[in-house]
């Protein structure tokens, strides 16, 4: 049975995958359903949700369509979350593999750098980086990755340290494989499974950090994000709480979907391991 089949068989995996697919479909079809700039003013201000079918989720203070903003916002949230997690995983896995495989001084030096990054809270790091480098999408991605690569680095290093002692690594040395090829072909792929399991946690926290940065106004002002929508709604929280609640629910659903998916994936991978 494939991993995908096993994933779909567990309720967590199936629900998580469904939520993520729905989100991805939403993000990709945003341009088709709402071709207009989501930041353009389309109607009266502060229309409550479900009162006017032209604006199913109502309008904000400036008369912008909340649904259009929400759909377009999913793009930014997902893209930033996934891109930041990908950068963090690639950098973390490479640094961890290198440290674990090289050992000695290189290991010491790399791990102290990891320590240095880990003592600063990830959000503060991102905040400082964005305020210095200016708010644009690539900067936000980098800023979030800056605080997220340390956990995969540590995990990859621990895995590599154990794999390094296995017979098949000794066998690769005996047949004359070069150290770099051993690290990348024999060690890294086998150390990756637990590191990948971490990816969902990183995606989820990246989405949240991105939202928090936008909430503080530290994101590209020309792009709608769920964080900036919540911030925008804050001004009229008493009279129109839905402006903050709607993107908040979207945010919660995304994080929930990612977590459920990772839970299901973890079970599916564990099932495969138990079988062999």
Long-range Cβ contacts of 102-110 (<8 Å, 24+ apart):
107/157, 110/153
Residues 111-140 that bind another protein (CB under 8 A): none
Shorter beta-carbon distance to another protein: residue 63 or 194: 194
Q: Is 190 in the site for another protein (CB under 8 A)?
A: yes
Shorter beta-carbon distance to another protein: residue 106 or 170: 170
Contact of 55 with 86, CB cutoff 8 Å: no
Shorter beta-carbon distance to another protein: residue 36 or 173: 173
Q: Is 172 in the site for another protein (CB under 8 A)?
A: yes
Contact of 211 with 251, CB cutoff 8 Å: yes
Q: Which of 32, 105, 119, 174 binds another protein (CB under 8 A)?
A: 174
**CA–CA dist 155, 211 (Å, integer):** 27
- For the chain, the 3-state helix, strand and coil shares in percent, each to the nearest 5, are 75, 0, 25
Q: How far apart are the first and last CA of the chain?
A: 12
**CA–CA dist 40, 38 (Å, integer):** 6
Q: Return the residue matching tokens 């994101």.
A: 219
How many residues form the binding site for another protein (CB under 8 A)? 17
Least distance between another protein and beta carbon 164 (Å): 12
Q: Is 28 in the site for another protein (CB under 8 A)?
A: no
Question: Could you tell me which stretch among 44-52, 128-136, 168-176, 194-202 binds another protein (CB under 8 A)?
Answer: 168-176
Q: Which of 21, 109, 168, 252 binds another protein (CB under 8 A)?
A: 168
Q: Is 104 in the site for another protein (CB under 8 A)?
A: no
Least distance between another protein and beta carbon 174 (Å): 5
Q: Is 189 in the site for another protein (CB under 8 A)?
A: yes
176: which DSSP letter?
Answer: T
Tell which residue, 194, 192, 187, has the closest CA to residue 165: 187
Q: Return the residue matching tokens 């794999």.
A: 163
Shorter beta-carbon distance to another protein: residue 12 or 186: 186
Q: Is 175 in the site for another protein (CB under 8 A)?
A: yes
Question: Could you tell me which stretch among 30-38, 42-50, 184-192, 243-251 binds another protein (CB under 8 A)?
Answer: 184-192
Tell which residue, 150, 247, 152, has the closest CA to residue 191: 152
Q: Is 176 in the site for another protein (CB under 8 A)?
A: yes
Q: Which of 21, 24, 171, 270 binds another protein (CB under 8 A)?
A: 171
Exposure string for 59-81, b = 16+ CB within 10 A, e = fewer: bbeeebbbbbbbbbbbbbbbbbb
Least distance between another protein and beta carbon 176 (Å): 4
Q: Which of 167, 222, 238, 239 binds another protein (CB under 8 A)?
A: 167
Contact of 30 with 210, CB cutoff 8 Å: no
Question: Could you tell me which stretch among 1-9, 119-127, 162-170, 250-258 binds another protein (CB under 8 A)?
Answer: 162-170
Task: Please report the sign of the dihedral spanned by the C-alpha atoms of residue 201, residue 157, residue 106, residue 186.
Answer: negative
Q: In the complex, which residues of this chain contact another protein (CB under 8 A)?
A: 166-168, 170-178, 185-186, 189-190, 276
């Amino acid at each position: 049975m494939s991993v995908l089949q096993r994933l779909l068989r567990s309720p967590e995996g199936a629900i998580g995958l469904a939520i993520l697919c729905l989100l991805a479909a939403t993000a990709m079809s945003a341009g088709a359903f709402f071709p207009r700039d989501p930041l353009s003013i389309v109607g009266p201000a502060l229309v409550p949700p479900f009162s006017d079918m032209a604006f199913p989720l109502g309008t904000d203070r400036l008369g912008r369509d909340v649904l259009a903003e929400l759909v377009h916002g999913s793009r930014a949230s997902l893209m930033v979350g996934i891109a930041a997690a990908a950068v963090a995983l690639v950098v973390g896995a490479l640094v961890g593999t290198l440290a674990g495989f090289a050992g000695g001084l290189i290991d010491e030096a790399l791990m102290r750098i990891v320590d240095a990054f880990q003592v600063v809270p990830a959000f503060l790091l991102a905040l400082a980086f964005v305020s210095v480098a200016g708010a644009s999408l690539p900067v936000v991605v980098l800023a979030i990755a800056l605080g997220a690569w340390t956990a995969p680095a540590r995990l990859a290093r621990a895995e590599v340290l154990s794999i390094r002692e296995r017979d098949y690594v000794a066998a690769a040395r005996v047949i004359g494989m070069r150290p770099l090829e051993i690290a990348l072909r024999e060690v890294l792929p086998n150390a990756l499974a637990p590191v990948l399991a971490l990816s969902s946690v990183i995606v989820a926290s990246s989405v949240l950090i991105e939202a928090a940065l936008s909430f503080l106004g530290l994101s590209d002002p020309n792009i709608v994000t769920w964080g900036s929508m919540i911030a925008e709604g804050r001004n009229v929280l008493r009279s129109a709480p839905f402006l903050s609640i709607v993107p908040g629910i979207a945010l919660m659903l995304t994080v929930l979907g990612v977590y459920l998916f990772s839970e299901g994936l973890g079970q599916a991978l564990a099932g495969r391991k138990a079988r062999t």
